[in-house]
Chains A and B, each alone.
Chain A
Amino acid sequence: MGGGTRQDQIKGRFDIGGSVDSYGTSCPESEPKECLQMGEYLIEHVVNGYSLIKEGQLLCTYKEATLLTTDRALFKLDKGMLLEVSPKGIRKVLSPVKAGILGFINSDGSLKCSTKPVAYRVGFGNSSDELLQKFSEFMNEVYGIPLNKYQRKDRRHFIELVKGNKDMAQDLANYTSKANGEWNVPFEYLDKESARMFLKCFMSGDGGIGYYKQAERPTPRLKVRFFSMNRKGLEEIAALLREYFGISSSRIYEKKKGGLELWIMRVDDKIKYIKDIGSFKINHIEAIERVLRRIEPPD
């Protein structure tokens, strides 16, 4: 359990006083109810936002809710985090944008967070403009810091976005072990929306979506796969696909020639992936469009 006074513990847990940045998801337009009881917690709509109350004690007031339904509420915290309140209790979850940053970092990104030698650095290198732009947008949205851009002379079309920033690197290191070696999926901080964005960004960096025509066959074949050197990481991706999206037919291939591929095997699961999750990479998007045109021709 956390240390300090009860007040300190509440402050740490509910992020009282944290600055609130803007981020993607918007609150439903319908008028919020005045009061919502969720298990032990009561949410009250007050003039300056929403009060979270437990056993008659005010825990915190949040300026903004990004989701407010009868069985789940999400309140904005700082650095791209959300507080989820549901009848099961409360927990911190990654906003979709922050989960996307972690998906990018775990694929084509880098994270340095060391005290000896002192090095704090977040980076993402790619040759696809759309991915560089998306990463930059996400980082700006969560941390409000523009990234430095480096074009390498020896690798044409390859650009690195880098920022040396201790707070940012330390914050991201709370949710991925990339800085210590192999990356991981931050299960305990994900909900379905953030899981979707994590997968979408990982796929954009280290995945493949292709719709391939076989020479003698009339019907092209859809391929959806993730690549990594990290078997445990790929197993966690498979678990994420299964738990949140019901995509269960995945399999890890280890060919003699280095690296591992996680394939989604069955057609219905592949379709589910491209419809529910997708990718930001233009080549992937084009392949998805070709598949959807074929399976769902326009009227």
Chain B
Amino acid sequence: MSHLIELEIWQSGEDFDEASLRGDIATKKFWRKDVVKACVELGGLNFDRGYRYQVFICFEKQDKVKDIIKKVIRWGPGSLKWINLLLYGPDEKSACEELEKVSDLNGLIEDIRKNEDKAKELATRYAHDYYKLDLNPRKEVVPEYQISVGFLIQMNDDQAIVYTVGINYQVDEMIRNSRKDFKKFGKIVGYCVEEVEKADLIDVEEEEDAYFVMLEV
């Protein structure tokens, strides 16, 4: 993602009340003629619900910054870790604009299934390379990797994209929980997931009934 200016507004441990004030000051200072749109980015942790996340709220009017920062503080689930302000020029795509493929929920499930098939194929190849003749064919090969699912949300006048990051075998729970946890932001109008094309091998671990192949996709 390329953006004109990235401003760190707030970090975990700092006073929440300072975040919107800093956002306001930063806007006045940096939102010049060549800035045509912006994103407020929130990063947070919600491991108890199976994920960590980033929210990008994309908007075009600078007088909204303060209000949007207050909203992300109020609505962000779990533990909030950082808030940034991203300012974009006319030729740059905001976080919402740079989405290439947006599907409905069924499309997302289908894309995840395809990813899982591809990951399994890669994991199986790695497991064979790793164990060679010692590989027990009766044991299942299970791929394990981090997956990021995007939720495109229509807020009143603005749009937001929420990326949740979790573990592939927890993805159903992650989607279910995220749909509830980010409801306050608005209506989910689309989903996206990165396509698994290739993966690096991190580790292979043999357990009683399976080989767990950890991948970096």
Binds A, one of B123-131, B151-159, B162-170: B162-170
Instruction: Kindly identify which residue among A212, A218, A255 contacts B170, using a CB–CB cutoff of 8 Å.
Output: A212
The yes or no answer to A249 lying at the interface (CB within 8 A) is: yes
A residues near B73, Cβ cutoff 8 Å: 154-155
Question: Which of B170, B173, B208, B209 gathers most chain A CB within 10 Å?
Answer: B170
A213-255 CB contacts (< 8 Å) to partner B: 214-215, 217-219, 221, 223, 225, 227, 229, 249, 251, 253, 255
Task: Given A155-B73, A257-B165, verify A265-B214 contact (CB < 8 Å).
Answer: yes
Main secondary structure of the interface of A (DSSP, over half): mixed
Binds B, one of A1-9, A92-100, A165-173, A202-210: A202-210
The residue of chain A having its C-beta at the shortest distance from the C-beta of B49 within the complex is: A283
A219 & B209 in contact (Cβ 8 Å cutoff): yes
The yes or no answer to A126 lying at the interface (CB within 8 A) is: yes
Number of A interface residues in the complex (CB < 8 A): 41
A206 & B148 in contact (Cβ 8 Å cutoff): no
Q: Could you mark each residue 41-77 of chain B with 1 if its beta carbon is under 8 Å from any beta carbon of chain A, else 0?
A: 0010101101011100000000000000010011000
The yes or no answer to A259 lying at the interface (CB within 8 A) is: yes
Instruction: Kindly identify which residue among A111, A205, A266 contacts B205, using a CB–CB cutoff of 8 Å.
Output: A266
A residues near B54, Cβ cutoff 8 Å: 257-258
B residues near A251, Cβ cutoff 8 Å: 202-203
Main secondary structure of the interface of B (DSSP, over half): strand
What distance in Å separates the Cβ of B15 from its nearest Cβ neighbour in chain A? Answer: 8
B residues near A258, Cβ cutoff 8 Å: 43, 54, 82
What distance in Å separates the Cβ of B74 from its nearest Cβ neighbour in chain A? Answer: 4
The residue of chain A having its C-beta at the shortest distance from the C-beta of B51 within the complex is: A208
What distance in Å separates the Cβ of B142 from its nearest Cβ neighbour in chain A? Answer: 7
B residues near A267, Cβ cutoff 8 Å: 205, 207
Question: Which of B81, B140, B216 gathers most chain A CB within 10 Å?
Answer: B81
B13 & A178 in contact (Cβ 8 Å cutoff): yes
Could you tell me the distance between the alpha carbons of A205 and B43 in the complex, rounded to whole angstroms? 15
Task: Given A219-B209, A253-B146, verify A109-B13 contact (CB < 8 Å).
Answer: yes
Task: Given A108-B79, A206-B45, verify A266-B13 contact (CB < 8 Å).
Answer: no
Q: Could you mark each residue 261-272 of chain A with 1 if its beta carbon is under 8 Å from any beta carbon of chain B, else 0?
A: 100011100000
Could you tell me the distance between the alpha carbons of A152 and B173 in the complex, rounded to whole angstroms? 29
Instruction: Kindly identify which residue among A109, A207, A219 contacts B47, using a CB–CB cutoff of 8 Å.
Output: A207
Q: Could you mark each residue 176-216 of chain B with 1 if its beta carbon is under 8 Å from any beta carbon of chain A, else 0?
A: 00000000000000000000000000110101111010101
A residues near B207, Cβ cutoff 8 Å: 219, 267
Could you tell me the distance between the alpha carbons of A218 and B209 in the complex, rounded to whole angstroms? 9
B169 & A210 in contact (Cβ 8 Å cutoff): no
Could you tell me the distance between the alpha carbons of A208 and B11 in the complex, rounded to whole angstroms? 20
B residues near A214, Cβ cutoff 8 Å: 142, 169
Given contacts A212-B173, A215-B169, A253-B216, 13 further A-B contacts (CB under 8 A): A108-B79, A152-B16, A154-B16, A154-B70, A206-B79, A210-B47, A212-B167, A223-B167, A229-B11, A255-B165, A257-B53, A265-B202, A265-B214
Q: What are 7 inter-chain pairs, A to B, with CB distance below 8 A?
A: A221-B169, A225-B47, A229-B43, A253-B146, A255-B148, A257-B148, A265-B214
| Closest 5 pairs between A and B when the two form their complex, measured CB to CB | A110-B13, A208-B47, A214-B169, A154-B74, A257-B163
Interface residues, chain B, CB within 8 Å of chain A? 11-14, 16, 43, 45, 47-48, 50, 52-54, 70, 73-74, 79, 81-82, 140, 142, 144, 146, 148, 163, 165, 167, 169-170, 172-173, 202-203, 205, 207-210, 212, 214, 216
Interface residues, chain A, CB within 8 Å of chain B? 108-111, 123, 125-127, 152, 154-155, 178, 205-208, 210, 212, 214-215, 217-219, 221, 223, 225, 227, 229, 249, 251, 253, 255-259, 261, 265-267, 283
